[in-house]
């Protein structure tokens, strides 16, 4: 006999089978061979044929049962049912304990299984309202956290100002260099270009009315009151607030904040206060630089396109634009700076400890800072307009 024929005979001899012996009393259900995945198709046909073909009183003979795996055990569980499985210890005393435990485990799993029910469809309008409600709740919680954090900053500031030995002058100066001096070129270039664009637009629109001379007033009013402080604040919201969040968030992820607290140091005093003070100093100075560069950009366009000389440009600004417009613009800079720094540092403290969390809160700090700056600027514009300033 060849090896292949031997293996075929071996597989046929060990293939599982089930038969019903009606010659005995009571009827016996004989289960023999290997009940494994390799013989699953044939065993499924045999069990389906006997599913309703024997009485409940029939005894089970498993004396010739061979190998048993999960697939075969599931077929036996379906064939025998719960009642016969409970009597296996009596009707099949020679059944290995492992096989009995396997069938009982599968029977328990099949009994406990329930077809998952599909959730009912929620109306689109209801989903929309639910998402709006969740968004409002998030905004409300973020607002409360920001107000609480602002209170903590003010408390720390007052406490530190009364103790000169705890002033961190070196840290404040270093942050002023990073925030203000390093950002000066991009602020100057941006506002210069915007000033030139505003002058082009003003000259184009006012030319139809024969009032191109008022382009000077348009440039002066827009940059002294709004554009300079708004553009600078938005630029620093993207540049500085994100840096604050990433720096503090990385420290929290590396558990450096916990180390500071263990040493008895206040993270608010050590990390937040120097950044807030540095931005309070840097943003007004950058705003003043933005005013100058924006007006210079508009003056260059007026000189090139409208024939308005620099001397005439400056004289028209001096005659038509009062100093209160400069004060209206510059007074908003510290307010914007305080909120930008507070939001950037607060989002850094919210980091959970992973790189993904650092990125998410960095993005959130930029979005929140820009949003708050625009809202505050709109409120300030309405207030000053009503006051006649």
SS (H, E, C) the chain: CCHHHHHHHHHHHHECEEEEECCCCCCEEEEEEEECHHHHHHHHHHHHHCCCCCCCCCEEEEEEEEEECHHHHHHHHHHHHHHHHHCHHHHCCCCCHHHHHHHHHHHHHHHHCCCCCCCCCCCHHHHHHHHHHHHHHHHHHHHHHHHHHHHHHHHHHHHHHCCHHHCCHHHHHHHHHHHHHCCHHHHHHHHHHHHHHHHHHHHHHHHCCCCHHHHHHHHHHHHHHHHHHHHHHHHHHHHHHHHHHHHHHHHHHCCHHHHHHHCCCCHHHHHHHHHHHHHHHHHHHHHHHHHHHHHHHHHHHHHHHHCCCHHHHHHHHHHHCCHHHHHHHHHHHHHHHHHHHHHHHHHHHCCCCCHHHHHHHHHHHHHHHHHHHHHHHHHHHHHHHHHCC
Residue 215 belongs to a domain: yes
**Structurally, how many domains does the chain consist of?**
2
Quote the pLDDT of residue 338: 93
Alpha-carbon gap, residue 172 to 276, rounded angstroms: 9
Rounded to an integer, the average pLDDT of 174-189 is 90
**Does the pLDDT at position 171 exceed 80?**
yes
Whether 213 maps to a domain, the answer reads: yes
Last residue of one domain, picked from the residues 80, 112, 144: 112
Q: Could you tell me if residue 125 is inside a domain?
A: no
Higher-scoring residue by pLDDT: 334, 81 = 334
Q: Would you say 246 and 337 are in contact if contact means Cβ atoms under 8 Å apart?
A: no
Q: What per-residue confidence (pLDDT) applies to 113?
A: 62
- Which segment of 77-86, 290-299, 304-313 scores lowest on mean pLDDT? 77-86
The yes-or-no verdict on residue 294 having pLDDT over 60 is: yes
Q: Are residues 40 and 87 both part of a single domain?
A: yes
The answer on 251 and 198 residing in a single domain is yes
Q: What is the overall mean pLDDT for the chain? A: 83
User: Does the pLDDT value for residue 341 go beyond 60?
Assistant: yes
CA distances from 370 to 14, 317, 356 (A): 76, 30, 22
35: domain CATH number?
Answer: 3.30.750
Q: Is the omega angle on the peptide bond into residue 129 within 30 degrees of 0, that is, cis?
A: no
Average pLDDT over residues 193-214: 85
User: Which domain does 86 fall in, by range?
Assistant: 13-112
pLDDT attached to residue 9: 43
Tell me, what's the pLDDT at 12? 47
Residues 32 and 156 in one domain: no
Residue 313: which of 326, 297, 327 has the closest Cα? 297
pLDDT exceeds 50 at position 2:
no
183-202, pLDDT tens digit by residue?
Answer: 899 999 999 999 999 998 88
**32 and 179 part of one domain:** no
Is pLDDT at 284 greater than 80 in this prediction? yes
60 DSSP β-pair partners: 29
One domain, residues 100 and 212: no
Could you tell me if 102 and 164 lie in one domain?
no
In the chain, the percentage of residues whose pLDDT exceeds 90 is 24
Residue 6 lies in a domain: no
pLDDT at 320 over 60: yes
Asked if the structure places residue 169 within a domain, the reply is yes
Q: How confident is the model at residue 350 (pLDDT cuts 50, 70, 90)?
A: confident
According to DSSP, the residues that pair with 34 across neighbouring strands are 15
Query: pLDDT class for 111, splitting at 50, 70, 90?
Result: low
Q: Domain check: are 241 and 333 in the same one?
A: yes
**7 compared with 200, residue with greater pLDDT:** 200
Q: Are residues 107 and 176 in the same domain?
A: no
Task: Say which residues have a Cβ less than 8 Å from residue 271's Cβ, sequence separation at least 6.
Answer: 247, 248, 251, 345
pLDDT at residue 374, rounded to an integer: 93
Would you state the pLDDT for residue 293?
A: 93
What pLDDT, on the 0 to 100 scale, is given for residue 254? 83
Q: Is residue 63 part of a domain?
A: yes
- Inter-residue contact 384 to 328 (CB < 8 Å): yes
Please say if the pLDDT value at position 308 is more than 80: yes
The phi and psi torsions of 68 (rounded to 5 degrees) equal -140, 130
Most confident of 122-136, 198-212, 347-361: 122-136
Predicted local confidence at residue 201, as pLDDT:
87
Q: How confident is the model at residue 290 (pLDDT cuts 50, 70, 90)?
A: very high
Length of the chain counted residue by residue: 389
Is residue 83 domain-shared with residue 170, that is, in the same domain? Answer: no
How far apart (Å, rounded) are the C-alpha atoms in residues 122 and 132?
15
The stretch 242-248 carries a mean pLDDT of 89
Query: Residue 346: exposed, middle, or buried by beta-carbon count in 10 A (0-12, 13-18, 19+)?
Result: buried
| pLDDT value for 3 | 40
* Top-confidence residue, 297 or 17: 297
Q: What is the mean pLDDT of residues 277-305?
A: 91
**Main-chain dihedrals φ then ψ at residue 67, nearest 5 degrees:** -70, 150
Task: Of 58-62, 287-291, 357-361, 372-376, give the lowest mean pLDDT range.
Answer: 58-62
Region 337-366: mean pLDDT is 88
Q: What is the token pair recorded at 192? A: 């210069």
More confident residue, 155 or 54: 155
Shared-domain flag, residues 366 and 298: yes
| Domain-embedded: residue 170 | yes
3-state secondary structure 20-72: EECCCCCCEEEEEEEECHHHHHHHHHHHHHCCCCCCCCCEEEEEEEEEECHHH
Residues 223 and 163 in one domain: yes
Instruction: Indicate whether 336 belongs to any domain.
Output: yes
* Shared-domain flag, residues 97 and 153: no
Token readout for 108 is 């328990």
- Mean pLDDT value of segment 171-183: 89
What pLDDT, on a 0 to 100 scale, did the predictor assign at position 373?
A: 92
Identify the weakest region by mean pLDDT among 35-44, 173-182, 193-202.
Answer: 35-44
- Of the two residues 91 and 384, the one the predictor is more confident about is 384
| Rounded-to-integer distance, Cα 165 and Cα 374, Å | 38
């Amino acid at each position: 006999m060849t090896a292949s024929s031997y293996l075929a005979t071996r597989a046929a001899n060990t293939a599982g089978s089930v038969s019903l012996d009606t010659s005995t009393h009571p009827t016996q259900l004989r289960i023999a061979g290997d009940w494994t995945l390799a013989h699953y198709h044939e065993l499924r046909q045999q069990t389906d044929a006997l599913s309703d073909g024997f009485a409940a009183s029939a005894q089970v003979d498993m004396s010739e049962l061979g190998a048993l795996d999960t697939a075969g055990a599931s077929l036996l569980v379906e064939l025998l049912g719960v009642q016969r499985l409970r009597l296996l210890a009596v009707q099949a005393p020679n059944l290995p304990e492992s096989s009995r435990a396997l069938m009982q485990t599968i029977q328990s799993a099949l009994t406990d299984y329930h077809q998952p029910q599909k959730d009912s469809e929620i109306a689109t309008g209801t989903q929309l309202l639910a998402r709006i409600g969740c968004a409002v709740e998030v905004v409300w919680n973020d607002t409360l956290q920001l107000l609480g954090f602002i209170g903590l900053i003010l408390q720390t500031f007052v406490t530190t100002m009364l103790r000169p030995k705890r002033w961190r002058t070196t840290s404040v100066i270093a942050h002023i260099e990073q925030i203000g001096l390093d950002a000066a070129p991009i602020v100057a270039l941006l506002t210069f270009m915007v000033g030139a664009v505003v002058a082009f637009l003003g000259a184009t629109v006012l030319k139809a009315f024969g009032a191109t001379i008022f382009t000077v007033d348009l440039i002066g009013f827009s940059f002294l009151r709004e554009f300079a402080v708004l553009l600078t604040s938005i630029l620093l919201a993207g540049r500085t607030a994100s840096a604050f969040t990433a720096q503090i968030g990385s420290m929290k992820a590396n558990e450096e904040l916990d180390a500071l607290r263990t040493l008895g140091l206040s993270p608010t005093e050590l990390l937040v206060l120097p950044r807030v003070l540095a931005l309070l100093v840097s943003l007004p100075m950058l705003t003043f630089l933005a005013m100058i560069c924006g007006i210079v950009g508009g003056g260059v366009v007026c000189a090139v396109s409208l024939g308005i000389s620099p001397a005439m440009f400056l004289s028209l600004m001096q005659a038509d634009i009062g100093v209160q417009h400069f004060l209206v613009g510059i007074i908003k800079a510290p307010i914007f700076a305080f909120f930008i720094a507070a939001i950037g540092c607060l989002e850094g403290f919210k980091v959970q400890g992973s790189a993904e969390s650092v990125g998410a809160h960095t993005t959130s700090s930029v979005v929140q800072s820009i949003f708050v700056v625009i809202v505050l600027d709109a409120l300030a514009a309405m207030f000053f307009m009503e006051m006649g300033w």
